[in-house]
Amino acid sequence: CANLTRRTPQVSETQHRNDFSYVGIDAILEQMRRKAMKQGFELNVMVVGQSGLGKSTLMNTLFKSKVSRKSVQPNPEERIPKTIEIKSISHDIEEKGVRMKLTVIDTPGFGDQINNENCWQPIMKFINDQYEAYLQEEIHINRKKRIPDSRVHCCIYFIPPTGHCLRPLDVEFMRRLSKVVNIVPVIAKADTLTLEERDDFKQTIREELRANGIDVYPQKEFDEDADDRMINDKIREMIPFAVVGSDQEYQVNGKRILGRKTKWGTIEVENIAHCEFAYLRDLLIRTHMQNIKDITGSIHYETYRVRRLNESNGHFSPHPSDHPAAQPKANGQHEEQPGGAAQPNGVAAQHEARSHEM
């Protein structure tokens, strides 16, 4: 008990010592803050798009933009399993004493083939493999206190700045992947479009997403209340963010900025008057990081987990590679479920009804 008292902040202690009606529930915030500070935060972001659209540059922009950074090697246990095509790097970012491990999963070569019909498959497989790894850890009798989380929390999809419309490849990728992961579409290299072209293109993309039933992050159906709806509606009106990336620093009016120097001036990537990179960064880190992780855990992962456990129908296979659910289907179809087993999570079940492809 003495221990508990010591943990509550000084102010409330002195203030409330003689106030017998004060229970101290508000001190939970301080307890949570201390725990969060100790643990730090983790976010796994995947970038997908054709070569040369500026994926690597944008991620460097994210690391270099207004956060101090120091590079670390992730410990081997937590490192995301690598494949030939998909690679990941982690950075420890620290700001005002709060630590964050930002992992970027790069997928070079997506859509670079002449025939790109099934190029979403390895990415889908990678995402499901991370869910599977998490599930295997979770069902151990002796679970780790903290399960290493390599699940992809968010996938940034780079749309080429054509100014026309989405390509079939873009539609196919987002349609399938939006059911298993949070998708944040961006218009790459937006400095190649005039302001008018940019606004038209954004509008066209929003209409096409709607017409194709593609639900990108923040998904309307997961808004929890009117407050959420109001904030997220504003974001939904802005999507896709028209971004510009750069890891070059320049001096502008005595300030060091990240920018792209051209013959007619310098584009400041963090200046919202120039492009929407700052909105993307704020969404990922400042305003929606926790929500992005919550949706991953309580919707996308949960849908996977329910399906996996239902599929094995009580005989859970500990070998993911032997199991069809862990593998993407060659024809992109998912198998019928044996009997409608009870769903432990209502929302996940609803989401699953929209077809969760493996």
Ligand X SMILES: Nc1nc2c(ncn2[C@@H]2O[C@H](COP(=O)(O)OP(=O)(O)O)[C@@H](O)[C@H]2O)c(=O)[nH]1
From Mg ion, ligand X, none, which one binds at residue 265 (CB under 5 to 8 Å depending on kind)? none
Least distance from Mg ion to the Cβ atom of residue 53, Å: 9
Euclidean distance between CA atoms 325 and 128, whole angstroms: 9
Please choose, out of 45-53, 93-101, 133-141, 342-350, the segment that lies near ligand X by the rule CB under 6 A.
45-53
**Given the structure tokens 């190649």, which residue do they identify?**
192
Burial 335-352 (b: 16+ CB within 10 A, else e): eeeeeeeebeeeebeebb
Euclidean distance between CA atoms 124 and 294, whole angstroms: 20
Q: Are 181 and 127 in contact (CB under 8 A)?
A: yes
From Mg ion, ligand X, none, which one binds at residue 189 (CB under 5 to 8 Å depending on kind)? ligand X
Euclidean distance between CA atoms 309 and 242, whole angstroms: 40
Least distance from ligand X to the Cβ atom of residue 49, Å: 6
- 259 binding ligand X? (CB under 6 A): no
Kind and range of the H or E run holding 351 = helix 346-353
Which of 56, 136, 204, 219 binds ligand X (CB under 6 A)? It is: 56
Q: Which of 208, 219, 138, 142 is nearest to 178 (CA)?
A: 219
**Given the structure tokens 């974001």, which residue do they identify?**
235
- 244 binding ligand X? (CB under 6 A): yes
Backbone angles phi, psi at 101, to 5 degrees: -105, 110
- 274 binding ligand X? (CB under 6 A): no
From ligand X, Mg ion, none, which one binds at residue 219 (CB under 5 to 8 Å depending on kind)? none
Which of 8, 12, 56, 116 binds Mg ion (CB under 5 A)? It is: 56
Which of 111, 245, 259, 328 binds ligand X (CB under 6 A)? It is: 245
Closest residue to ligand X using C-beta atoms: 54
Q: Which of 334, 356, 336, 337 is nearest to 347 (CA)?
A: 356
Please choose, out of 52-60, 189-197, 250-258, 337-345, the segment that lies near Mg ion by the rule CB under 5 A.
52-60
Which of 151, 189, 202, 308 binds ligand X (CB under 6 A)? It is: 189
From ligand X, Mg ion, none, which one binds at residue 328 (CB under 5 to 8 Å depending on kind)? none
- 270 binding ligand X? (CB under 6 A): no
User: Residue 241's beta-bridge partner residues?
Assistant: 186
Give the residue with the Cβ less far from Mg ion, 85 or 94.
85
Q: Which of 146, 126, 82, 140 is nearest to 318 (CA)?
A: 140
Which of 51, 113, 290, 333 binds ligand X (CB under 6 A)? It is: 51
Site for ligand X in 124-183 (CB under 6 A): none
- 53 binding ligand X? (CB under 6 A): yes
- 308 binding ligand X? (CB under 6 A): no
Sign of CA dihedral 272, 274, 279, 282: negative
From Mg ion, ligand X, none, which one binds at residue 43 (CB under 5 to 8 Å depending on kind)? none
Structure tokens at 109: 């070569």
- Which residues bind to ligand X, rule: CB under 6 A? 51-57, 189, 191-192, 244-245
